[in-house]
Structure 1
């Protein structure tokens, strides 16, 4: 593994593979300094002798960690046609690595679009003829590419699959199993505490119309921060998400338009003097936490009550904020330890591009799922319906280019 002085003698291919293994096993947080050092070395040198699997893996890891890497796949393309060489069809691991790497594309990278289509076509044709665990990994990637799959879900699968791989490290595997079980115990204890809090809250507030989304909210929290040291962040996130969900259901499902106006007026009159004990950089967040959310929920309620059909642009200006993500992104910082500096709060409260892009992805995925499932009677027109009306568009898949916008903003903001 990362033995003393071993990094200098280890090949780049071995380093790339090791970092990927640690990430997929969910134990890279125990080796942060070593992983950072390995990534710096990986970024500083590139072997021209590496095959498609390692080249694509290097590309994906660096982009995932905020390092901009240009398209490095020209060597695998035909010089005359510009298409990928068909002889690569004999390398299923290389195809899988390319497919996952190409999903780190940013808008406009057409060559990587072609890489996705090319590798997906060949991987689909190989299904049913691959050895285990490669067969399961290909099926999983074709469903959700690795770059978009929640890390904790990949770990759940890979802890089982890694032991079947030739040359696996038994020590790493044992560490991953112990770490997974310990974290699962912690997550269950947190969920128990949150369930008791939610039961007590709902018993006092008596909002019987509200959805019970606590487990869903907590799952989303674990997708963002699953490590032990972020326990406080998870609890803050899940509770705030629960309160925002109650407010959303009140405006969206139960209250009349007149009652929505009364509720919003009451929230806007919230006593701001109670924020006096907070540092200056946190006052704005505290004051606006529910005031801004209430304003955006009211805008949507007015659209519904007045039968108003907003433009797609107008819809996104409101619904990205009502998705809750810009607010929840700040909440996560409150439990993020030393990284939550004053500068970090000020940056995130300003809703930078990466937060806006993430909010758009959350909104699109939510609205696509709702569109397929069907609307409630009081639901306002979704972003999907507004876009479809303006562009004669049909729903086919997930966040698409906006997923990439999130990735591009992440690299740029870093």
Structure 2
């Protein structure tokens, strides 16, 4: 492909080749349609008796936490179960107080017989790192032999839980922690080669799930649904905790069903199906993304804003990628910069529908924030939407000119079009006074964590869509710039993805630049990206993939009590 510099002046796109190329994508239709509207009557609310039982069980679990013997391993396993069952948000204070006391005691010097127990050491390390405590990875030195490798004596049938815990802990490493790189290689290779026939069934299931999706990469809500089955089959499970987790899951599911009904009604009222038939209908999948970022009941407004932001930017993305002429795209880009309803007077009908829906959505964000007396959230949300659309326009000019940028050029624009800043500001705008102006400043400042999340999202997306999407991607840029094959590009990107994950881990360790509530939005964004996009498998573009099953188990099927 001949290389030309990108255009810097307005471009007319009456050229037939351009029009054919930009209209060549046919998206899979929604698999849900009006399901969450027509089946609203199926989603009944919890009865007063069920709510009272839920509250009673919650207090019993709280007592369980307090009365568990002061044995670190038992306490750690209880905390781990509470977190993996998706109910830790009820006990944040209790968990924080206990883990802080463990960190304060252990981070300078680890002593005691339990420190020779690999399961104990690895579980403690993971729980503390998850909580943001920078416990040194040197705690694993005692398990290393004179050649710098993990001791072969660790590999035995009595230490399977220890190897599994080491595997899960190894994902929480940061740059320079070679011992955790070695831990991952050691543990994963042995977990894959173990004879599962002799294992307890629950342990074998846990290993298989871990190898597919380690805890660090697990979306909390989906992980909880899967772990309930594993935990239930474990003879040592606590019946009170399990029943509470199931009841709480179903209670929260009903909240999500009502929210999904409401956003589906909003999307249907926009009538994009008729007015913009060429854009993807992914409002249900957008809500799934929002729930993967915030599932807790108190974040209902953030979920609504994030769902609408994803659905809207999907429509805009489809216009820029596959439908709009460059004349229209320039007009739309300038109109978004002005952010004024009067621009509708100069737009074509299809663009006017999208533009008005966009402005109406951000007016909704502004109205909600005015109610509590703040104005800064909508300012940041608007500016990031303006930036992402300007980025889309730059990408459209590259495509029209058959210009494949360098990786540096591509990733500079991808920092904006990758979405974390725009989506994060839109969702944080639903958290009111919990998020300060300084927190928003950090989100848009180009931090290490945001860059890592962008790289994670962009590379995963491009690897998933390569070969199916007519526009070029990071894969094409890397191949052209380095004279590399697709396989070589993918291998390089896998290295960059691992580095990005470590950078995200680093940013989540105390002291943090912003509250963990903000950091978790970006961490969860990376989690749902990895869940949705696999090489050659775009779970957002094609909702008939695993995403359909995710929606079904989270929003349709309750957990059997």
Whether 1:61 and 2:159 are equivalent positions in the alignment is no
1:126 corresponds to: 194
Shift of 1:352: 2.9
Matched position secondary structure for 1:335: coil
Q: d(CA) in 2 for partners of 1:159 and 1:243?
A: 35
Aligned to 1:376, the other structure's residue is in SS state coil
Coordinate RMSD, CA, aligned: 2.5
Counterpart of 1:84? 150
Tell me the residue number matched to 1:401: 499
Correspondence for 1:25: 85
In structure 2, list runs of 5 or more residues that go unmatched. 1-60, 343-362, 515-561
Equivalence for 2:279: 210
Task: State how far apart, in whole Å, the 2-side matches of 1:315 and 1:195 are.
Answer: 34
Structure showing greater Rg: 2
Q: In the TM superposition, what is the alpha-carbon distance from 1:234 to its structure 2 partner?
A: 0.6
User: For residue 207 of structure 2, what is the aligned residue in structure 1?
Assistant: 138
Contact 1:16 1:42 in 2 (8 A): no
For structure 1, list consecutive stretches of 5 or more residues without a partner in the other structure.
Answer: none
* Cα pair distance change 1:28/1:292, threshold 3 Å: same
Counterpart CA distance in 1 for 2:503 and 2:186 is 22
How many Å apart are 1:139 and its aligned residue? 0.8
Going from structure 1 to structure 2, the CA distance change for 1:191 and 1:6 (only over 3 Å counts) comes to closer
Q: Which residue of 1 aligns with 2:95?
A: 35
Q: Which residue of the other structure, out of 177, 199, 206, is the alignment partner of 2:246? A: 177
- Structure 1, 114-123 or 156-165: larger mean CA deviation: 156-165
Aligned residue number for residue 410 of structure 1: 508
Q: Deviations over 1:167-226 (max 9, x none)?
A: 221111110010011111222221121112112213487111101121221111111111
2:476 corresponds in structure 1 to 385
Instruction: Provide the C-alpha distance between the structure 2 equivalents of 1:211 and 1:8, rounded to a whole number of angstroms.
Output: 51
Q: 2:330 aligns with which of 235, 246, 261?
A: 261
1:221 paired residue among 253, 269, 290: 290
Q: How many residues align?
A: 409
Give the match for residue 407 of structure 2. 312
**Which residue is 2:458 aligned to?**
363
In structure 2, C-alpha distance between the alignment counterparts of 1:65 and 1:107, rounded to whole Å:
18
TM-score (norm 2): 0.68
Whether 1:192 aligns to 2:261 is yes
Out of 122, 142, 148, the position equivalent to 1:75 is 142
Q: TM-score under structure 1 normalisation?
A: 0.91
- Residues 66-94 of structure 1, C-alpha deviations (whole Å, 9 max, x = no match): 2212212111111x111101111111111
> CA separation in 2, counterparts of 1:246 and 1:219?
17
Q: Which residue of 2 aligns with 1:12?
A: 72
Moved more, 310-319 or 355-364: 355-364
Q: Could you tell me whether the CA contact under 8 Å between 1:20 and 1:61 is conserved in 2?
A: yes
Deviating more after overlay: 38-47 vs 68-77: 38-47
- Give, in whole Å, the separation in 2 of the partners of 1:305 and 1:326: 26
Deviation for aligned residue 1:13: 1.6
> 2 CA distance for matches of 1:336 and 1:121?
43
For 1:250 and 1:191, how far apart are their aligned partners in 2?
25
Equivalent of 2:469 in 369, 376, 382:
376
1:303 and 2:403 correspond:
no
- Higher mean alpha-carbon deviation, 29-38 vs 344-353, is at 344-353
Contact in 2 for aligned 1:329/1:348 (Cα 8 Å) = yes
Check 1:157–1:30 CA distance in 2 against 1; reply closer, same or farther (3 A cut). Answer: same
Deviation at 1:347, TM superposition (A): 2.7
Matched, 1:49 2:113: yes
CA deviations 1:275-318 (Å, max 9, x no partner) are 89785633641441432121000011011111111111211111
Which stretch shows the higher mean deviation, 21-30 or 403-412?
A: 403-412
User: Equivalents in 2 of 1:66, 1:205: separation in Å?
Assistant: 48
- Counterparts in 2 of 1:262 and 1:92: CA distance versus 1, 3 Å: same
- Which stretch of structure 1 is more off in the superposition, 273-282 or 390-399? 273-282
- Please tell me whether the aligned partners of residues 281 and 346 of structure 1 are also in contact (alpha carbons under 8 angstroms): no
Asked whether the equivalents of residues 96 and 131 of structure 2 are also in contact (C-alpha less than 8 Å), the reply is no
Selected match of 2:312 from 243, 248, 253: 243
Partners of 1:264 and 1:405 in 2: how far apart? 33
After superposition, give the CA deviation of every residue in 1:354-375 in whole Å (9 maximum; x if it has no partner). Answer: 223222211121112112xx23
**In 2, are the aligned partners of 1:198 and 1:214 still within 8 Å (CA)?**
yes
